[in-house]
Structure 1
Amino acid sequence: MKRLKRNDLVSILVPLLIIYNVSYLYVYSSNTKLVEGEFLDNKISEDSYIKNDKKEALHIREELQDNYVPIFNKLIRGELISSHEVTSSKDGINLGMVIINLNPSFNVRDIKQSFAKRTINTLNTMFDRAGPSPIHLIIVTNKESSKWTGFFLASYLGKRLTLGALQERGFRFRKVNSLPSIKISLVDCDEISTKHPTFVSDMKNNINSALKASDKYRANFYYIAPLYHLAFTKLKHLLFIDASDLEFASNIEELWAERNRTDKGEVLMSMGLDLAPHYHNYIMGLYGDDYEGPLGKPGKFQGLNTGVVIYNFDKMRQNNIYNDYLNTENAYNVLLRYHIPLNLAEQDFFTCINFEHPELFDILPCQYNTQVSLQYFTEKHEKDFKDFHYCDKKENIKIFHHNGCGPVPENCGNKRLKSFEEDRSLLSLHMDVEVFWRFMANMVLDASQDKRKKIYHKLIV
């Protein structure tokens, strides 16, 4: 197998490093010939550096300059498009997420904050297992955050492409040779809210007064999801996920294939259950501990979770029952009827509608949204917590949802119960193997010679 010579390697690395250091992308802006909204077609295998000759090296360089750089330029400028302009690819995945910087004094180039790091983890685990199907990333943001969001995505994809081309696949786990074709659309959340001007304010009238003024769930964009069908008029299906707390353990194509569930009967959307007695507590507070009805009990009516949602917009636009709930009186009263103040934005709204019209909702298998929080694993719920929370064996989980707190009750400020010690099926402990061995190496190097021997002995035993 022929390896690249030094000059050939340089001809590839230079544009790659330019992409990685995206602040220099404007060097190539005059060469852009791409049509707005075109897919970023990844024709370069991330393992291709091993086998390319000089001719192939020149091809890669041309591909980078003519395809990747102009699209990254557009991202950095934070160009927003109307939600009505967002279209679907015939064989692609429509994947939505909200990426907005809530820090009022953020720096456009500051992408090292906690939210950005957690979003990178979501994207990494997804792309590590993604198949060849094109992915249309539909990013809901706002005018204030658009440049930051664009810079963040350009930086992430540039680094991903660079390291993928330089590192062999075995260096860091990834099941695929290259990124799929990617299209990115930045959409203004404020424009979406205009599709039903009073809805957001109606919803926010029900916000839990206990929420702090700085709580993220007081932001307007958390209340626009029920209006997506009015905004994305050229889409039939949209898969929408939390940006910063998911961990993919499967190919996203498997999840996208589940959109067929929304084509059955009167179903408008598919989402998983909220794997906690959160809504149970509200229902018991409303009806009393003697209540024997199904609402709030383990099963279809224990509450919904919007960490992963598949929408069928065509059916939502046509459904009068659902659209009536968007009107001022109904939007307010449906929450009031169950004494549920808004803590979790649209999740609370959808849960209440599901109590009254379960035919509109399909329950997505819990393996696609396995929440790991132990917030409600207290003495009060020691006997029934597992009924609400447990999904499946770890090896069968397709998406972990790292919401709330854990992985042990103490992390949630709760007492460690005897049942937790006896049944570790509730423990969801994930380890970054690379970070672990770096920590171990540093611990050994920093230790004295006698202490090293003890460490070695413990590792061996």
Structure 2
Amino acid sequence: MIVFNFIILPILFNFCLGREKDDDLLQNKVIREGLIAAQDSSPPNKNYVSVAIILCNVGVEGLVNGIMKVFNRLLKSILAFSKETPLHVIIVTDEKSHLTVRSCILAGLGKFLSESIIRFYQGLELPDPINLKILPSLRFDLVDIKSITKNFRAEIDVMKLEYSLNSKEEIISQLEDGTYVATSPKYVEDLFYIGPFYADAFVSIERLITLDADLQVRRDLAQLNKLFLSMPSEAIMGVTADQSGYYFALIRHLFKNNPEHKLTQDEMKQRGINSGVVLYHLDRMRRNKEYREARSVRNLNKIKEDLDIKNRFLFELGDQDWFTLLMYTKPHLFQILPCGWNVQIPLRITVPEYQCTQKTFILHKHGDIHE
């Protein structure tokens, strides 16, 4: 087994990736060297599916203690189900985290490959040896989050005031039913406010799938990418509806008590979104004047005033909350995806009928990231 791991495995690693058999070049062919700017990130060719995952503040106590554990699980699930799909994986990270993230990716690829090869040679899996392909064609870019935030500092600071509790300490609050809920201090971090600015940051990418780190993929991501083709021509984002009832009080206020507001009548869109899985049609976002105006510093705040909810409701989930309000007021910009692409297992369910009954293509179990 020692000979297998140190001699045969590196050769198979190159072969299965479809790359040259050159160990010195392997790491930089799979993961671009260093921390790069968002505008420099691009897929090797048009056949690659671009997928972004945020991994910031790795190792910072009290924020997301389990982030690398859940990311390892996500990476393994992507590799297992997307073997035939070329993937351009963007990891949005930071200066203090990127070396740890890079090491984690290489270790995860090596472990997945070695386990797969061992199962093959033990006869547990018998693919056609001529067409043996254990890993998809891969390109990882480690993107510096500052390259996204630096041009939108004013907008992000406004969003922090409007769409978070703006506290660096955990906040415990009691709901109407007597339940106590803890709000993590993590939502004061920039990473929860960058979604609205992806189109201006990733200038060389037309379509982008974003995934939360605490997901488990159970279907080829090429199938998720195909949903871009079913989006109406005016839609700029594909999202899944919230399945917990998180926005239920807001829904009751806006749609039941104040019918004079000219808001979406689509019941699924009324539920609000969960941003664990999002399809960003970046090219359309760059060209859509209505969206770009809504994203201005003035209108990031004004949308709450227009709905008369500025002092009525607390918002705490960053850009997910803003996207939800935008979907209420401009529903044509959003396409609701089948719930199976983001089956949520929330810590608390307010509206049981919101739960997804479709087959699970991506599982989203809340809470694991803090363990």
TM-score by length of 2: 0.81
**Per-residue deviation, 1:261:** 2.9
Aligned partner of 2:177 in structure 1 is: none
Q: For each residue in 1:285-344, what CA deviation from the matched residue of structure 2 results, as whole angstroms up to 9, or x when unmatched?
A: x45964568769842211011111111111101111111122211111224533453311
In the TM superposition, what are the counterparts of 1:107-118 in structure 2 within 5 Å? Answer: 114-118=66-70
Is the contact made by 1:84 and 1:231 (CA closer than 8 Å) also made in structure 2? yes
Match of 1:261? 230
Match of 1:458 in 2: none
Correspondent of 2:283 among 314, 326, 329: 314
Q: Could you tell me whether the CA contact under 8 Å between 1:16 and 1:64 is conserved in 2?
A: no
- AA partner of residue 242 (structure 1): D
> Could you tell me which residue of structure 1 aligns to residue 336 of structure 2?
363
What residue in structure 2 maps to residue 415 of structure 1? none
Aligned residue number for residue 161 of structure 2:
205
Residue identity (%): 25
Inter-partner Cα distance in structure 2 for 1:288 and 1:230: 33
- Provide the C-alpha distance between the structure 1 equivalents of 2:25 and 2:113, rounded to a whole number of angstroms: 13
Does the aligned pair in 1 maintain the 2:98–2:142 contact within 8 Å?
yes
Instruction: Work out whether residues 128 and 173 of structure 1, in 8 Å CA contact, stay in contact via their aligned partners in 2.
Output: no
C-alpha separation in 1, matches of 2:49 and 2:255: 45
User: Would you say 1:388 and 2:354 are equivalent positions?
Assistant: yes
Contact kept, 8 Å, 1:81 with 1:187, in 2: the verdict is yes
* Pairing partner for 2:246 from 258, 278, 285: 278
Query: What is residue 14 of structure 1 aligned with on the other side?
Result: 6
Give the length in aligned residue pairs: 342
Q: Where does residue 16 of structure 2 map in the other structure? A: 44
| Map 1:22-421 → 2, pairs under 5 A | 43-44=15-16, 63=21, 65-71=23-29, 79-88=34-43, 89-104=45-60, 114-168=66-120, 177-209=133-165, 213=169, 215-243=185-213, 245-262=214-231, 264-284=232-252, 286=253, 290-291=257-258, 298-336=267-305, 337=307, 338-339=309-310, 340-373=313-346, 375-377=348-350, 385-389=351-355, 391-393=356-358, 396-404=359-367
Q: In 2 relative to 1, CA 69–143 (structure 1 residues): closer, same or farther, beyond 3 Å?
A: closer
Counterparts of 1:165 and 1:288 in 2: how far apart (Å)?
A: 55
Query: Which residue identity is paired with 1:260?
Result: L
Q: Quote the offset at 1:197 in angstroms.
A: 2.9
Determine if contact 1:280/1:296 at 8 Å carries over to the other structure. Answer: no
**1:217 offset after TM fit, Å?**
1.1
Structure 2 letter corresponding to 1:401: H
Per-residue deviation, 1:157: 1.3
* Partners of 2:58 and 2:67 within 8 A in 1: no
Inter-CA distance 104–115: structure 2 relative to 1 (3 Å threshold): closer
Structure 1 counterpart of 2:182? none
Q: Name the amino acid aligned to 1:282.
A: L
- Please state how far the C-alpha of 1:68 moved relative to its aligned partner: 2.6
CA drift at 1:125: 1.6
Segments of 5+ residues of structure 1 without an aligned counterpart are 1-5, 20-40, 46-58, 107-112, 378-384, 406-461
- Does the Cα contact within 8 Å between 1:195 and 1:230 map onto a contact in 2? no
CA contact (8 A) 2:237 2:335 kept: yes
TM-score using structure 1 length: 0.66
Residue 18 of structure 1 and its aligned partner are, at CA, apart by: 8.1
| Closer, same or farther: CA 329–278 of 1 in aligned 2, 3 Å | same
Q: 1:82 to 1:210 in 2, by over 3 A?
A: closer
Identify, as 1 or 2, the structure richer in strand: 2
Describe the shift of the 1:297–1:318 C-alpha distance in structure 2 as closer, same or farther (beyond 3 A).
Answer: closer
Distance 1:266 1:169 in 2: 51
Deviation at 1:283, TM superposition (A): 3.7
Q: Return the letter of the residue paired with 2:287.
A: Q
When residues 288 and 159 of structure 1 are mapped into structure 2, their CA distance, relative to the original with a 3 A threshold, is: closer
Query: Which is worse superposed, 270-279 or 330-339?
Result: 330-339
Alpha carbons of 1:307 and 1:105: their partners in 2 closer, same or farther (altered >3 Å)? closer
More relative contact order, 1 or 2 (CA 8 Å, 6+ apart): 2
Task: Please tell me whether the aligned partners of residues 42 and 178 of structure 1 are also in contact (alpha carbons under 8 angstroms).
Answer: no
Q: Per the alignment, do residues 68 and 300 of structure 1 end up closer, same or farther by CA in structure 2, a change over 3 Å counting?
A: same
Give the conservation status (yes or no) of the 8 Å contact 1:277–1:296: no
Kindly provide the amino acid, as one letter, of the partner of residue 364 in structure 1: L
For 1:283 and 1:69, how far apart are their aligned partners in 2?
49
Q: Give yes or no for contact 2:240–2:274 (8 Å, CA) kept in 1.
A: yes
CA contact (8 A) 2:187 2:318 kept: yes
The alignment's C-alpha RMSD in Å is: 3.4
User: Which one-letter code corresponds to 2:303 in the other structure?
Assistant: V
Change (3 A) 1:289 1:116: same
Paired residues of 2:83 and 2:133 also in contact (CA < 8 A): no
Cα distance, 1:174 vs structure 2: 11
Question: 2:216–2:362: 8 Å Cα contact kept in structure 1?
Answer: yes
Equivalent-residue separation in structure 1 for 2:126 and 2:367 (angstroms): 28
Task: After TM superposition, give the deviation of residue 370 of structure 1 in Å.
Answer: 1.1
In 1, are the aligned partners of 2:347 and 2:367 still within 8 Å (CA)? Answer: yes
Residue matched to 2:179: none
d(CA) in 1 for partners of 2:157 and 2:166? Answer: 18
Contact 2:76 2:108 (8 Å CA) reproduced? no
Indicate how the Cα distance of structure 1 residues 289 and 91 shifts in structure 2: closer, same or farther if over 3 A, else same. Answer: closer
AA aligned to 2:16 is I
